[in-house]
Amino acid sequence: MSIVLGPNRYGKAETRLVRVVRDGGRHHIKDVNVSSSLSGDMAAVHLTGDNAAVLPTDTQKNTVYAFAKRHGVDQIEDFALLLARHFVEAHPTIRHARVEIEEYGWDRRGEHSFVRRGGEVRTCVVHHDADGRTTVVSGLKDLVVLNSTGSEFHGFLTDEYTTLQPTTDRVLATAVTARWRHTGGGRDYLDSYDAVRDCLVQAFAETHSLSLQQTLYAMGERALTARAEICEVRLAMPNKHHFPVDLSPFGLDNDNEVFFAADRPYGLIEGSVLREDAPDAGFAWE
């Protein structure tokens, strides 16, 4: 019985890239997920471990980031074609390249603020008991927002394990989970929801942030200031880190234009903002 190598391919899956283009103070973002897969003269690597024909998947990832800087990312089809042609044309052992790109849409909410398209989930939890006590908590989750500038983080506590560099300009992005407690009942819940959501998004966009914690407080404060019908806002906000990619090995600078959008681990910032005289929550949060 003889054993042979069948069809095969290899590549880097899901290179998460955010490309920021600055038009003065007005920013544009492109948020994509790129997967490349190459095939060709790959018998040797499978049969003997000879890697001479293998363009490392790490190089494929670097190429995505370097091309994003060098050529920009406009239509994903054009960017995919550029990459696929490059892999095949630059390396004789690569006979075929498959490039798949997903693009995530964002709606503008200011000069450098965006809300991810696709929408959040609206939520509520109500309690009512035999003594006639009722609580209503409304909320939302998966409201993804991003500021491409206007965020700093420095002056933090350091110890022998700290490697994080302070920054005065970073991308700030989060998927907001917010719940707010109503005082009393009987209102237009749709109107209330729309208004609170608007406050949260506006405060996120308009706050020059020194930390996500500060932004969290500003969001809760804005909603409570604008809406008398609620008395407490609880927020959970993952810090969706965007790391500038070091493009210097390829002779390219990166002035906050090309980011690796990491999905984990993430900072998780949670907090409650409430009126000092808020009535007792009772079972509202249970």
Ligand X SMILES: O=c1[nH]c(=O)c2[nH]c(=O)[nH]c2[nH]1
List contacts with ligand X (CB under 6 A): 153, 164, 211-213, 239, 267
The encoded tokens of residue 137 equal 């908590």
> Is 60 one of the annotated binding-site residues?
no
Query: Is 112 among the residues known to form the active site?
Result: no
> Is 8 one of the annotated binding-site residues?
no
Q: Strand locations in the chain, DSSP E?
A: 15-23, 26-40, 94-104, 106-108, 113-116, 121-128, 134-147, 172-182, 230-239, 242-244, 258-261, 267-274
Cβ-based burial of 215 (10 A; exposed 0-12, middle 13-18, buried ≥19): buried
Answer positive or negative: Cα dihedral of 77, 15, 144, 157. Answer: negative
> Is 149 one of the annotated binding-site residues?
no
Residue 166 Cβ vs ligand X, minimum distance, rounded to whole Å: 10
Alpha-carbon gap, residue 148 to 176, rounded angstroms: 17
Residue 239 Cβ vs ligand X, minimum distance, rounded to whole Å: 5
> Is 215 one of the annotated binding-site residues?
no
Please choose, from the candidates 234, 232, 241, the residue with its C-alpha nearest in 3D space to the C-alpha of residue 264. 241
Residue 109 Cβ vs ligand X, minimum distance, rounded to whole Å: 20
> Is 170 one of the annotated binding-site residues?
yes
Q: Which residues face 115 on adjacent strands?
A: 107, 145
Question: Judged by CB, which is closer to ligand X: 2, or 165?
Answer: 165
Cβ-contact 138, 200 below 8 angstroms:
no
> Is 57 one of the annotated binding-site residues?
yes
Question: Judged by CB, which is closer to ligand X: 138, or 211?
Answer: 211
Q: Which of 61, 112, 182, 241 is catalytic?
A: 241
Question: Judged by CB, which is closer to ligand X: 60, or 209?
Answer: 209
Host H or E run for residue 195 = helix 189-206
Query: Is 69 among the residues known to form the active site?
Result: no
Residue 65 Cβ vs ligand X, minimum distance, rounded to whole Å: 22
Q: How far is CA 258 from the centre of its chain?
A: 14
Residue 220 Cβ vs ligand X, minimum distance, rounded to whole Å: 16
Determine if the peptide bond prior to 265 is cis (ω within 30°): yes
Q: Which of 12, 69, 240, 242 is catalytic?
A: 12
Query: Is 61 among the residues known to form the active site?
Result: no
Question: Judged by CB, which is closer to ligand X: 134, or 213?
Answer: 213
Question: Judged by CB, which is closer to ligand X: 153, or 204?
Answer: 153
Q: How far is CA 78 from CA 74, 82, 101, 183, in A?
A: 7, 6, 11, 53
Q: Which of 28, 57, 141, 183 is catalytic?
A: 57
Q: Known binding site for 5-hydroxyisourate: residues?
A: 57, 153, 170, 213, 239
Active site residues: 12, 57, 241
Q: Known binding site for O2: residues?
A: 57, 239
Q: Known binding site: residues?
A: 57-58, 153, 170, 213, 239
Q: Known binding site for urate: residues?
A: 57-58, 153, 170, 213, 239
